[in-house]
Amino acid sequence: MNYFELFSFTPSYEIDTALLAERYRELQRAVHPDKFANSSEQDKRIAVQRTAQVNDGFSTLKNPITRAEHILALNGFDLLHESTTVKDTHFLMQQMEWRESLEDIAHSSDPDEMIADLHESFSVYAKEIEQDLAQLLLSNSEEELSKAADLIRKLKFMAKLQIELERAEDVLFDQA
């Protein structure tokens, strides 16, 4: 299913999330199972299926990573069940540095500054990736879409790192 069509959007990495939420509420009102309480069993089943599609579509499109994966899937690239890893040596080295920094937070003389620096570093790197990704996802070229897939893999890694950083921050907060 093309969730962009469902929500009346042109497939694009950059979408208006406020408009997405508005269209979600409109679609939910139109297909909600309660609206079909006195209908046939078949109509009730269809309403439940449509509600599930609307919910899945909203969750897919509101998250930048899953939105990008959906665009690739619409172009024949399925990243959801793949095991390909990032092969960019520079990125792998940067990953190692970030992981070491995450481990060093607990032993740092100024963990708050270290956390702030990592948040900034992650944010800057992710924004650079997202700018390139937005352009690549507009293409129909297999080569460009393959590059986009590599950037999505990097963003997924960045999201995991961000979660680890938030956990480290929570541990420090709990100790305070």
DSSP state of 98: H
CATH code where residue 32 lies: 1.10.287.110
Residues 136 and 130: their CA atoms lie apart, in Å, by 10
Asked if residue 75 is part of any domain, the answer here is no
Q: Cβ contacts of residue 23 below 8 Å, gap of 6+?
A: 7, 8
130 closest CA partner among 40, 12, 24: 12
Please give the single-letter amino acid code of residue 120: E
Q: Is residue 74 part of a domain?
A: no
pLDDT for 176 equals: 60
pTM, two decimals, is 0.86
Q: 93 and 160: one domain?
A: yes
**Where residue 102 sits, what CATH number does that domain have?**
1.20.1280
Note whether residue 21 is domain-resident.
Answer: yes
Residue 79 belongs to some domain of the structure: no
Question: Domain range spanning residue 145?
Answer: 89-175
Predicted pLDDT of residue 54: 97
The stretch 73-89 carries a mean pLDDT of 81
| Structure confidence by residue, pLDDT tens digits, 120-165 | 999 999 999 999 999 999 998 999 999 999 999 999 999 999 999 9
Q: Check whether residue 35 and residue 96 sit in a common domain.
A: no
Instruction: Say how far apart CA 72 and CA 147 lie, in whole Å.
Output: 11
Q: What gap in Å lies between CA 142 and CA 43, rounded to an integer? A: 41
Are 151 and 99 part of one and the same domain? Answer: yes
DSSP letter at 39 equals S
Count of residues for the chain? 176
Is 157 exposed, middle or buried (CB count within 10 Å of its CB: 0-12, 13-18, 19+)? middle
Assigned domain for 25 exists: yes
Q: Average of pLDDT values for 46-54?
A: 92
Same domain, 169 and 103: yes
Number of domain units in the chain: 2
